[in-house]
Amino acid sequence: MAESDSNPAAAATERMRVAGSAMTEQGSQLGLTILSQAEANTQEAFRAMRAAAQASDLNEVMRIQSDYLRDQGARSMAQAREVSEMIANFGRNAIGQMTGRN
């Protein structure tokens, strides 16, 4: 470690390597989060389709669709917020690691 303290280029290279490794791991986390969100959205869509198929009249179908669209809108906003927060944190962490301020 003392050698890297006296060699700024080596220290910067090591910080870049660590940051790159962290970005790879964080990218995997992001991908898994998006897959989980897509799975949840698909399950909810099928749940609504199943309920609509079993509805007794058109009013019930309309209510099911309305509920689904309202819930999906809220779900989409929460999912977008979650992904945005992850990306912002990844960026902060990467900058911190590259500058040595983490």
Q: Strand, helix or coil at 74? A: helix
Per residue in 59-84, pLDDT (tens digit) is 999 999 999 999 999 999 999 999 99
pTM of the predicted model as reported, rounded to 2 decimal places: 0.71
How many whole angstroms separate alpha carbon 16 and alpha carbon 10? Answer: 10
Closest CA to 31 of 99, 77, 90: 90
Q: Please report, as a single letter, which amino acid is at residue 7.
A: N
Percent pLDDT > 70 in the chain is 91
Per residue in 30-56, pLDDT (tens digit) is 999 999 999 999 999 999 999 999 999
Q: Helix, strand, coil shares of the chain as percentages rounded to 5?
A: 90, 0, 10
